[in-house]
Amino acid sequence: MAVNLSEPTELRPVPGIRLGTAATGLKEAGRDDVAVVVFDPGASVAGVFTQSHFQAAPVIIAKRHAQGVRAWVINSGNANAATGAPGEDDARAVCAHLAERAGLELESIQPFSTGVIGERLNVAAIQHGVDRAFEGLNPASWLASARAIMTTDTVAKGASQVIQVDGHLVTISGFAKGSGMIKPNMATMLSFIGCDAQIEQSLLQRLVQRICDASFNRITVDGDTSTNDAFMVAATGQAAHRPILSEDDPGYQPLYDGLLQVAQTLAHAIVRDGEGATKFVAVRVKGGATAGECLSVAYTLAESPLVKTALFAGDANWGRLCMAIGRSDVAQLDPAGVSLWLDQVQVAAGGLMAPDYTDGAGSAVLAQDEYTITVDLGRGDSEETVWTTDLSYDYIKINAEYRT
């Protein structure tokens, strides 16, 4: 059902990173649901986390264990969210188990969880899975890890890229999961990228925030923000290029570009695999006075149930687009300045139907799997794009039957 999305055929190993997976029964029997990712000493690790007030226990612990990170331990099937102090103890117990097994400090291990909210973790089962994942650690298990963290995802999500930094090759590989509850107020669900670049940690942290703002912070499926969102990047420093120490370093931009491409591929994969998605739609808002108002209009369009059902139906009901633009949080928006396109077809000009527009031309665009809705607010130079899906029967089916 995912829109033009298939499992990656190859995810390249990244020097300095080994991965292992195991099945503990948290998901259906036999499917991997635990992944362990271990870094050689010297890696820089940075990340951004959910903005939810209800931060899950693993998020709280992962934020605390942010220095000298040596491993990630990830489980699917149970989010360990809304579980309070006992949930934090559970997350720490999982980390402690891996720490002991791997001869690492407890504080060097970051936990991540995704799945049902409000239930205690089966710590013993996960610890047992951690043992087996640890025994199986190897440089090649990227795709297996992508599969292990899936919940309602229908396709495992990963991407690889090899870039050049001052003449030396750097490998970037990443995997992600997410399908519903996708409104990255910050990051979205779980996404992990590893590379062998050499980059100083605080610089990597700023870089990751920039990457996030241009990828995971620009997608929405249903406007719902998870309690567990995390986007993590590890740079092992094993590539041969000179260390990247500042934004002015010539290696910074190629690394930014490479990481962004992998992050956007993963973010778009989450939308393409959005719950019940039949369309992959870019909503581009230009001509805004500020980036904030462009985002407000873009998200209002991207999250309006009436717009999303029209996208599902392939119905060029541009009145609903006007409705959504009209209720967006923009001060003193003048409809007479607003123009609208579906791909290259101009639908509205100056708040009215464009003279040459026909329903047939609009419907032809909306019949495609992928297209762009462009809005020109006609009041400035800012521009933002968000990516989203339609709202289909299957969204309801998936979410009404999730626990039953």
Q: Which residues are catalytic?
A: 188
Stretch of 126-134, 237-245, 264-272, 344-352 lying at the interface with a second copy (CB under 8 A):
344-352
Q: Please, what is the minimum distance in Å from the beta carbon of residue 121 to a second copy?
A: 13
The verdict on 354 binding a second copy (CB under 8 A) reads: no
Interacting residues with a second copy between 99 and 118 (CB under 8 A): 116-118
Residue from the set 250, 352, 358, 367 that interacts with a second copy by CB under 8 A = 352
Stretch of 125-133, 198-206, 225-233, 367-375 lying at the interface with a second copy (CB under 8 A):
225-233
Q: Please, what is the minimum distance in Å from the beta carbon of residue 361 to a second copy?
A: 15
CA distance 273 to 339: 30
Residue 184, C-beta contacts closer than 8 angstroms, at least 6 positions apart = 212, 216, 217, 218, 219, 220, 225, 229, 267
What residues form DSSP beta bridges with 160? 173
Q: Please, what is the minimum distance in Å from the beta carbon of residue 293 to a second copy?
A: 11
3-state helix, strand, coil in the chain (%, to 5): 35, 25, 40
The answer to whether the CB of 228 falls within 8 A of the CB of 60 is no
Stretch of 8-16, 165-173, 220-228, 251-259 lying at the interface with a second copy (CB under 8 A):
220-228
**Residue with smaller CB distance to a second copy, 82 or 106:** 82
What residues form DSSP beta bridges with 296? none
The verdict on 367 binding a second copy (CB under 8 A) reads: no
Residue from the set 15, 54, 214, 361 that interacts with a second copy by CB under 8 A = 54
What dihedral angle (degrees, nearest 10) is formed by the CA atoms of 148, 149, 155, 160? -90
**Residue with smaller CB distance to a second copy, 206 or 327:** 327
Residue 7, C-beta contacts closer than 8 angstroms, at least 6 positions apart = 143, 146, 155, 156, 158
Interacting residues with a second copy between 276 and 335 (CB under 8 A): 303-306, 309-310, 312-313, 315, 317-320, 322-328, 330, 333-335
Number of H helices, E strands in the chain: 11, 16
Residue from the set 154, 185, 290, 372 that interacts with a second copy by CB under 8 A = 185
Distances (CA, A) of 34 to 27, 243, 262, 268: 10, 33, 23, 24
CA distance 398 to 222: 13
Tokens of 135: 């025994």
What number of chain residues touch a second copy (CB under 8 A)? 66
Interacting residues with a second copy between 241 and 280 (CB under 8 A): none
Q: Give contact residues for a second copy (rule: CB under 8 A).
A: 51-55, 79, 81-84, 116-119, 180-181, 183, 185, 222-227, 303-306, 309-310, 312-313, 315, 317-320, 322-328, 330, 333-336, 348, 350-353, 391-393, 395-397, 399-404
